[in-house]
Amino acid sequence: MVILPSKKPAKHNDIAFTGQYLGVVEEYLPDEESTFVEEGQIFASKTGLISINDEKREIEIKTLQEENRKTVEVGDIVIGTVMFLRKFSIGINFNTINQKIQFNSSYMGNIHVSQISNQYIEKIKDAFQITDIIRAKVDKENANEYTLSTVGKNLGVIHADCSICGSTLKKVGLNKLKCPFCGSFEKRKIAADYDEVLVRLRF
Ligand SMILES: [Zn+2]
């Protein structure tokens, strides 16, 4: 006796296992990355959630990792490296979004001088320097440009290197850092957990 595989039609958001029948090519446009076609029948080439676009009649399998959002939204907490300083703003390249590590992220954020601290900041370089790693909140999004804020105790610089010798600066005051190697003092808008960040980052 031959047991025929189940030919149950695929349903949106159901779990599909590798090799599972999903439908026929007359019905759906199969995704090349996550499905394969044999004699007009579509099968899952990986395990994940079935995603059917009713309008375009497209079918694909999405893994849970892909379901994990990797885009930036207002209210997100991001960690990024300061790439440049301007007179009234800085540019940041995001390294993590909500504790998820981003590789080769092309997201860029800006912080205006008025959104750095509750206290008055006269010059950007009294708060940040290039190569600082900072934690910030996303305030606004406008055509892939993000406006960030570091106002608040937990936001600001979490790691900074001495601008003279490159050693990691140690916290010696509210917004004051000292280089243990060359003795130089520098100012920053630091987060409460400066250089003691304990969050576990996820891929
Ligand atoms: Zn130094």
Q: Which residues touch 171 (CB under 8 Å, ≥6 apart)?
A: 177, 190, 194, 195
- What is the identity of the amino acid at 109? G
Q: Which residues surround ligand 1, an ion (CB under 5 A)?
A: 162, 164-165, 167, 179, 181-182, 184
Q: β-strand 133-142 against 77-85: which pairing, if any?
A: antiparallel
The whole-number pLDDT of residue 3 equals 47
Distance 94 CA to ligand 1 centre (A): 26
Confidence at residue 30, expressed as pLDDT on a 0 to 100 scale? 94
> Ligand 1 centroid to 186 CA: how many Å?
10
pLDDT at 140: 92
The separation between the first and the last C-alpha atoms of the chain, rounded to the nearest angstrom, is 47
CA gap 12, 54 in Å, rounded: 9
Q: How far is the CA of 47 from the centre of ligand 1 (A)?
A: 52
* Token pair recorded at residue 170: 């140690």
Question: CB of 111 within 8 A of CB of 150?
Answer: yes
Predicted local confidence at residue 105, as pLDDT: 65
Residue 98: predicted pLDDT: 73
pLDDT of residue 145: 79
Say how many Å lie between the CA of residue 3 and the centre of ligand 1. Answer: 73
CA 172–ligand 1 middle distance (angstroms):
14
The pLDDT averaged over each successive group of 10 residues in the chain (203 residues) is: 63 87 94 93 89 91 64 85 90 80 72 92 92 93 86 94 94 94 96 80 62
> pLDDT per residue over 2-13, tens digit each?
445 567 788 888
In this prediction, residue 187 carries a pLDDT of: 96
Q: Write down the pTM of the prediction.
A: 0.64
Full strand arrangement of the beta sheet holding 176-178:
170-173, 176-178, 185-187
